[in-house]
Structure 1
């Protein structure tokens, strides 16, 4: 018995709700087609997941005309023959052979711009069929070979950390539900989460806050691999890593394979943590993070991992403790490493603004632009610096009540002028005008 074409069987399965009905009420056919077009399918030989109403309708009428035979894909009658004029065909083939990397769109524009073909006459499908017929539609040689990627693991704990952000659930904040973002840093060799926290944003400040806690708990990595998002490109994060001797590495765009272990961590979080959360117990962001940190230390870090030969992430990390770079004396200066510098113009009254609050700086800086040193995590101002990083003094919150009675610095009064001993122009003019002589 002849085997039925698998594509025809697939098309028949799509049409099931239509062809299984003996009679369709008025308007029911279009309603069913519209419903079928909104579903997702595993389409043989295609990466698409949806079908258009027009396609489904065409299959339906083909089935009505010829049954299952009508659903078998037909080979084009003109296959192998191009309808493009021979002169234009030669130009298309020459353009592709001259530069095999030229796309169909580039070839189309090239011929239109050069006046070889009229605008909007050449279709992309016609160009593709022509190139395919001559066997030059794909790149050959090294350019066509897929990039080789192999699984690997860092030599030891602390060698490579990965950083990424996952969109998460909503939590109550000040009476409103706010979306959260899980910011995580993972050690490659041990799968240990050096620190992770749910934040209300995915900004550079959120990432720096998680990095700061990870450094305090798990030492200093040699490499930190992150994606190309704007938050990871922030100058503040780059500066922190440079001062700590961390090589900040950016994944190439559209290559998530470089962070496959973090993607697996995100699945674990969804399947084992978020799925178990009792919303009634989450009254604020702090409640969610408290449960995350308890689950990390008590469950995740103490569960045997198949990729670690049966070791737990914590046990694998502890094997390499002698190799992990410690903060050492830099721990006392860590807060300062995470300070931000904000450019500010000092007003005539010797004040600047930060986060809606006014601060007094040394009055001699009035009218100048300075760097306000701030701790963005605590929203406090630490002092004032010049562009070279030299301290220019403190910045204190403006106290209007205290300023009312504060003794202000006043410049010393100029000494009384000494009467001129020589000729005086005013007196000479007075004598000449009134014909008087000085007695």
Structure 2
């Protein structure tokens, strides 16, 4: 037996009072008005009310064709456009030339060029045409993007970076959220460095990157999220100076970092589930156990995606190819310094993290770049806007300054020989007293 269309059943239920008896014209209109004031759970719609004309159309379709008359019929002109061919061509061309053009922009373009009269082509008509051509946003979203698994050819070719909201840890008597910042090598699945941090800022990420570089050398590419922390100018500058190609994942496309997501699952299942909170009294306790587990367990466990090799063994296969820091290791700290713009006060000091530092007194009143090591909270010195050193910055010692000899400008010494040129005072004296004076 042929099943009844669920929409037809719904419409018949709405027509209940009309389908059970014959009504006069006045009774029909009153009943339609009453039915239109009720709330319904309409299939495939979030609306709850029906119009009188809609219910009336269903009623006459039922009286003429029975239940089959209540089955929804597709539009006869579906798939066709009533727009002239030249207008259709212009719409398609406008969208292809600039896929970011909105429906309203295309409509204005057609009207501005005189191709159509103002208001004669609706945005819905443009949308239907673009949808049939596969050029609308919805149509593109339905298209399946080709994705293929890949693996970097060698360790050090590609690293991934990401942050995981991990657990809570006691800090100064209060429970704080701890974030796991990790860098993972694609080819070997080796975690080049990972650490629990109390934030997910650019400074936290840079601290983990610095340790990873010291331990595992320089990657060719570093793939990270689109978040603001990863787009910090300081991180971009570090990668640029070290020759690391910084790549940002597309928003809402986690498939690009599948291996890192797999590492996070392993971390949750094998590390977080085993943590004994009785031994964790500080962030340092958590990190100490993380680093021990990484080196003793994770890196030495055969990995299914590595044909049974451990991450450490796979990484060691490519040791000759790893880009070492070499001579840049001595300058690595300087590469991670930050520059903070400061105005030097009249007393020759600048402020940083609530402390005051003395700089060369000649800089008073000038704007300088304060060079700081944000990981150690230290001030290194001052530079000009071009990066030229202007001197050191030392913590202010107000007590020592009490007995400190001040530098004073040299006083102008009196001339040793009489002036030979004209003198305004003498000229005035001669004019007032005459030549006899």
Q: Distance between the aligned counterparts of 2:47 and 2:177, measured in 1?
A: 36
Q: Distance between the aligned counterparts of 2:92 and 2:433, measured in 1?
A: 106
Q: Is residue 300–residue 312 contact of structure 2 (8 Å, CA) maintained in 1?
A: yes
Q: Could you say which residue in structure 2 is the equivalent of 1:151?
A: 149
Q: Is residue 91–residue 126 contact of structure 2 (8 Å, CA) maintained in 1?
A: no
Q: Could you say which residue in structure 1 is the equivalent of 2:294?
A: 296
> What are the Cα deviations for residues 408-435 of structure 1, in whole angstroms up to 9, with x where unaligned?
1122222235685778655675687689
Q: Distance between the aligned counterparts of 2:399 and 2:321, measured in 1?
A: 56
Q: Is residue 344–residue 372 contact of structure 1 (8 Å, CA) maintained in 2?
A: yes
Could you tell me which of 122, 133, 138 is aligned with 1:136?
133
Q: Is residue 89–residue 130 contact of structure 1 (8 Å, CA) maintained in 2?
A: no
Q: Find the residue that maps to 1:378 and give its secondary structure.
A: coil
Q: Distance between the aligned counterparts of 1:164 and 1:179, measured in 2?
A: 16
Q: Is residue 181–residue 195 contact of structure 2 (8 Å, CA) maintained in 1?
A: yes
Q: Distance between the aligned counterparts of 1:161 and 1:408, measured in 2?
A: 54
- The answer to whether residue 102 in structure 2 is matched with residue 106 in structure 1 is yes
- The answer to whether residue 263 in structure 2 is matched with residue 265 in structure 1 is yes
Q: How far has the Cα of 1:306 moved from its partner?
A: 0.5
Which stretch shows the higher mean deviation, 391-400 or 108-117? 108-117
Which stretch shows the higher mean deviation, 206-215 or 246-255? 246-255
Could you tell me which of 404, 407, 429 is aligned with 2:405?
407
Which stretch shows the higher mean deviation, 207-216 or 357-366? 357-366
> What are the Cα deviations for residues 226-279 of structure 1, in whole angstroms up to 9, with x where unaligned?
222222222222222222222222233333222111121122222322233334
Q: How far has the Cα of 1:405 moved from its partner?
A: 0.3
Q: Is residue 128–residue 137 contact of structure 1 (8 Å, CA) maintained in 2?
A: no
Q: Could you say which residue in structure 2 is the equivalent of 1:239?
A: 237
Q: Could you say which residue in structure 2 is the equivalent of 1:313?
A: 311
Q: Find the residue that maps to 2:411 and give its secondary structure.
A: coil
TM normalised by structure 2 equals 0.72
Q: Distance between the aligned counterparts of 1:411 and 1:89, measured in 2?
A: 87
> What are the Cα deviations for residues 379-419 of structure 1, in whole angstroms up to 9, with x where unaligned?
10112223343332211001100000001112222223568
- Structure 1 unmatched runs, 5+: 12-45, 56-73
Q: Is residue 92–residue 130 contact of structure 2 (8 Å, CA) maintained in 1?
A: no
Q: Count how many residue pairs are aligned between Structure 1 and Structure 2.
A: 382
TM normalised by structure 1 equals 0.72
> What are the Cα deviations for residues 263-304 of structure 1, in whole angstroms up to 9, with x where unaligned?
211222223222333344433222222222222122211221
CA root-mean-square deviation? 4.3
Could you tell me which of 171, 174, 179 is aligned with 1:173?
171
Q: Distance between the aligned counterparts of 2:149 and 2:180, measured in 1?
A: 25
> What are the Cα deviations for residues 214-233 of structure 1, in whole angstroms up to 9, with x where unaligned?
11111111221222222222
> What are the Cα deviations for residues 76-133 of structure 1, in whole angstroms up to 9, with x where unaligned?
3353347x995x68898556444465889933664478677998x9685x8766777x
Q: Is residue 193–residue 208 contact of structure 2 (8 Å, CA) maintained in 1?
A: yes
Could you tell me which of 184, 187, 191 is aligned with 1:186?
184
Q: Is residue 93–residue 131 contact of structure 1 (8 Å, CA) maintained in 2?
A: no
